[in-house]
A and B are shown apart, each in its own frame.
Chain A
């Protein structure tokens, strides 16, 4: 049994219009996404803005209403309101993208980190403070700073406070929605290292949502590429980077700036080739609506969205 299983997830947003503000159309933000996750691993979800990657993450944790499909967590369907119980809310936590807007500016660090504890665990004031200090210690923020407010911290520190809040209840799954894209490289390194460390300690599973392929490559065991609400390719990190099959994946990989200036010309050529191929073979890889086909397995770990007959 998979740890988390998502079956044919669809999230549609209604488009209102017309005379009585009726629903005239839907935007298919997530359009039939299925995947499985195993405990203790990191799964990357990559795509451009508007591809539906954040919506997928938010739908799993219950921040978006699911149109259809199932999310099974430890074998229990959590899309059903009756079984979406407290345990699930405790086991799945989220780290948000922007450390400047995801912490309430009017709350002290103590209140921010203690909020999940207050919701789920009945602790005395003293115990609560002790736990918060322990958590801050784990994320390397000085435990003396529990009475400070978010504006007194730097971006990296704030993001780590967000992480402290996420791990307060010892969750099993953390959905990290672009956790480092608002940070400088050196701070980014700090947060990434740290996420890896606590993963080992707590046997955490991550769903790592990002548009930065370099970071995803560094962090993840398994990567999915998303385009317009559908998966175009799914596979181990090695599959995706060494043997990309879908033209969209190739295009994303080609777009990563190479850090070695000597490869500059080669990289331009490569990018041009891929861009040409993308233009020429667009109809081969996408259906008449410009959407990806259904995924087909090409090896044990590797799935690509290709038309029925290849």
Chain B
């Protein structure tokens, strides 16, 4: 397929704890097309950021197995010098925390110019300054000339996030990874930043991976959604199918725990997200959090099943899943 930008196949990212490696991302297979927004949702500890960092190869000590190819170049085996060439150029990342992602000792302008300088040697000093100001205008910063000379601490959170976006799109990347880009921001600012990302998508035609735990953000932004639990993708579907016809028990539970109209009690998922060391490595990883579903309904080695065009679900337990009524739930205890 010529439209395919990023292809991830059987990706496994493991970290060493003590003498053993534990996989934080396990058997993830994904594709991202040009001009598409892929949402990745999951709770903290589900491996969504570990996945993003693997794609950017930002982990320093992790063991990465499998295949990640961006425009048919394999990132997993790429040399450092080659990586430095494509990071910030072909692929770029928007980080979660606008406070810590900028260098506090460097003026905004120079931080933007740094990426321009590294990837576009032809641009002179004047050209870089012009481009930096153009970028600041593009991300909706008023008085860009002034902001160009300011330091990060002089800007508000929303403005800083805009600067980070400006840096990320400086070289018109083909792949943009946004790791919780609005989590640290107020709702009104969040709406503005999301609008901005949407506009930019039209302008620079990038493929975007949007990582978030906010289902509302995903519903508004994504074309396709992958739901992650315990390092695995448990469901992947076009956005309207996922919200209309969620299949995996985890997706259902997650959707049910968001406050919506006419709900007395919110659904609570039993237990906690297992830590990296205690992850069940065989069988359905969500099984222990839905103990009322009979063990025989889970697969021994859950794989993704295509239930309708483009809609995949892991494990067969979804066919037998139901929400226990309140009484039963209460008896089982909340935690």
Contacts and interface: CB of A to CB of B under 8 A. Distances in A.
A113 to B, nearest CB: 17
A258 interface: yes
Given A48-B188, A49-B186, A194-B334, A189 B267 contact: yes
A264 B219 contact: yes
A303 interface: no
Interface in B205-241: 213-217, 219-220, 222, 239-240
B214 A257 contact: yes
Interface stretch (A32-40, A97-105, A162-170, A248-256): A248-256
Interface in B255-274: 255, 257-260, 263, 265-269, 272
B23 to A, nearest CB: 21
B257 A154 contact: no
Interface residues of B, number: 39
Contact of A193 (B44, B219, B265): B265
A188 interface: yes
A141 B333 CA distance: 11
Contacts of B196: none
B258 A214 contact: yes
B334 A185 contact: no
Contacts of B217: 257
Contact of B216 (A154, A251, A259): A259
A155 to B, nearest CB: 8
Contacts of B187: 48, 211-213, 252, 255-256
A212 to B, nearest CB: 7
A86 interface: no
B304 interface: no
B33 interface: no
Interface string A48-85: 11000000000000000000000000000000000000
Contact of B243 (A48, A184, A251, A261): A261
A198 to B, nearest CB: 12
Contacts of A131: none
Interface string A236-272: 0000000000000001101111111110100110010
Contacts of A156: 272, 335
B130 to A, nearest CB: 29
B276 to A, nearest CB: 14
Contact of B334 (A190, A257, A260): A190
B191 interface: yes
A123 interface: no
Given A186-B254, A264-B220, A193 B334 contact: yes
Contacts of B240: 261-262
Nearest to B223: A261
Contacts of A140: 333-335
Contacts of B268: 186, 189-190, 193
A41 interface: no
A257 B43 contact: no
Q: What 10 A-B pairs have minimum CB-CB distances, sorted nearest first?
A: A257-B216, A218-B259, A189-B266, A189-B257, A255-B191, A255-B187, A184-B43, A48-B186, A186-B269, A261-B239
Interface of A: 48-49, 140-141, 154-157, 184-190, 192-194, 196, 211-215, 217-219, 251-252, 254-262, 264, 267-268, 271
7 contacts: A186-B269, A189-B268, A193-B265, A251-B188, A257-B191, A259-B255, A261-B220
Interface of B: 43-44, 157, 186-191, 194-195, 213-217, 219-220, 222, 239-240, 243, 253-255, 257-260, 263, 265-269, 272, 333-335
Given A184-B213, A257-B216, 4 more contacts: A155-B44, A190-B335, A215-B259, A257-B190
